[in-house]
């Protein structure tokens, strides 16, 4: 999916790079001391309803459509299935059509439920047109299968739609399935087109306006999971959610060490001044290769992310 800010910065002046590095270092140290002050949240943990096995079923269903490239019939059919699932689970569904390219139709799918301040859980459902990070040059014009990069985040959101006790969150929960996230560096395209459109047109989506928090879930399914703090993500919100993970015994997989700064679907929210984070494992070796397939995923990885988000939300989503 996305380019790193470091890659972007290599195109800018050295002075600017240094300033940004200092800013990141300052933010990181402030965040670190903030975490020490914050302490471990102790939340009551009721029965966890999130089923990682069911999340895997949702991954396999998405994979059965083939690559979900924006504007293709596979994308359309898979999106129709998502809408049907959300309707069946009693969510209100909005479709937000947009044109990522002049001759390509994309659409974001949004579901909402509950009342109170808004929390957006987001994931991209499109898959990248080309596997340009594949080690074999012969594979680099083939599409990414997108088991982790695409299907994993959507599976977490769908399983949340099935199991979350929305009333106990004291929030309006908006599930945002973004299209056209993953085609940057391809002529005519850019990254994060769906989430950009979503943030630019939030006033169209009355129930999801002015989100208190936005949490993006992307590439969380790697069997060898390592979830680091993504340094463009709000540090204190990361700490609050990572603290729940630690309480559930997942501290080994949720680290507050800084990972690679990334451009992802949280970026438009941050740029618009909202509090947003990206839960992502960017250590996935099959990123943007034809090997991004279901066999690389681990059911426990889904369990850790799903249970953490469920417990955090059902305790009223404590945070900054
Ligand atoms: Zn990607």
102: its two tokens = 């002049």
Report the predicted TM-score, pTM, of the whole model to 2 decimal places: 0.89
Cα(171) to centroid(ligand 1), Å: 30
68: its two tokens = 């979900």
> What are the residue ranges in the chain where pLDDT is below 70?
1-39
Give the model confidence (pLDDT) of 207-246 as tens digits. 999 999 999 999 999 999 999 999 999 999 999 999 999 9
Fold topology of 5-314: Aminopeptidase (3.40.630)
| Residue 57 main-chain phi, psi, to 5 deg | -60, -40
Cα(252) to centroid(ligand 1), Å: 25
Task: Report the pLDDT value the prediction gives residue 3, as an integer from 0 to 100.
Answer: 57
Task: Report the pLDDT value the prediction gives residue 288, as an integer from 0 to 100.
Answer: 97
**Tokens 């240094």 identify what position?**
18
45: its two tokens = 């943990």
In the chain, where the domains are located: 5-314
Q: Is there a contact between 156 and 55 (Cβ–Cβ < 8 Å)?
A: yes
DSSP letter assigned to residue 111: E
Cα(289) to centroid(ligand 1), Å: 10
**Tokens 């900054």 identify what position?**
320
Strands 254-258 and 227-229: parallel
Cα(191) to centroid(ligand 1), Å: 9
Cα(287) to centroid(ligand 1), Å: 7
Cα(141) to centroid(ligand 1), Å: 15
Cα(42) to centroid(ligand 1), Å: 35
Task: Report the pLDDT value the prediction gives residue 265, as an integer from 0 to 100.
Answer: 97
Task: Report the pLDDT value the prediction gives residue 205, as an integer from 0 to 100.
Answer: 87
Cα(166) to centroid(ligand 1), Å: 30
Cα(148) to centroid(ligand 1), Å: 9
80-101: buried (b, 16+ CB within 10 Å) or exposed (e) per residue?
Answer: ebbbebbeebebebbebebebe
Cα(249) to centroid(ligand 1), Å: 29
Q: Is there a contact between 218 and 264 (Cβ–Cβ < 8 Å)?
A: yes
- Give the number of residues written for the chain: 320
Helix, strand or coil, per DSSP, at residue 76: helix
Cα(2) to centroid(ligand 1), Å: 6
Q: Is there a contact between 244 and 308 (Cβ–Cβ < 8 Å)?
A: yes
């Amino acid at each position: 999916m996305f380019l790193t800010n470091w890659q972007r910065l290599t195109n800018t002046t050295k002075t600017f790079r240094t300033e940004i590095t200092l800013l990141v270092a300052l933010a990181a140290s402030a965040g670190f001391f903030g975490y020490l002050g914050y302490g471990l949240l102790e939340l009551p943990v009721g029965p966890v309803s999130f089923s990682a096995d069911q999340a895997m079923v949702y991954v396999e269903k998405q994979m059965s459509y083939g690559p979900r490239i924006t504007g293709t019939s596979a994308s359309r059919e898979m999106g129709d299935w998502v809408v049907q699932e959300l309707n069946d689970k009693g969510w209100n569904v909005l479709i937000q059509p947009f044109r990522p390219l002049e001759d390509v139709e994309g659409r974001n799918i949004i579901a909402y439920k509950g009342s109170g301040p808004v929390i957006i859980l987001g994931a991209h459902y499109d898959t990248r047109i080309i596997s340009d990070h594949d080690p074999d040059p012969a594979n680099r014009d083939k599409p990414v299968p997108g088991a982790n990069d695409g299907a994993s985040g959507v599976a977490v959101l769908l399983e949340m739609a099935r199991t979350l006790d929305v009333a106990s969150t004291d929030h309006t929960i908006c599930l945002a399935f973004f299209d056209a996230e993953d085609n940057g560096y391809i002529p005519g395209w850019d990254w994060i087109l769906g989430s950009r459109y979503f943030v630019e047109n939030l006033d169209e989506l009355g129930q999801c306006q002015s989100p208190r928090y936005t949490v993006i879930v992307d590439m969380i399914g790697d069997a060898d999971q390592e979830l680091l703090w993504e340094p463009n993500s709000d540090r204190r919100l990361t700490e609050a959610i990572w603290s729940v993970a630690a309480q559930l015994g997942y501290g080994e997989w949720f680290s507050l060490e800084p990972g690679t700064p990334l451009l992802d679907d949280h970026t438009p929210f941050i740029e618009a001044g909202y509090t947003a984070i990206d839960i992502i494992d960017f250590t996935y070796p099959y990123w943007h290769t034809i090997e991004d397939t279901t066999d690389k995923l681990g059911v426990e990885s889904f369990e850790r992310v799903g249970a953490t988000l469920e417990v955090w939300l059902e305790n009223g989503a404590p945070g900054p």
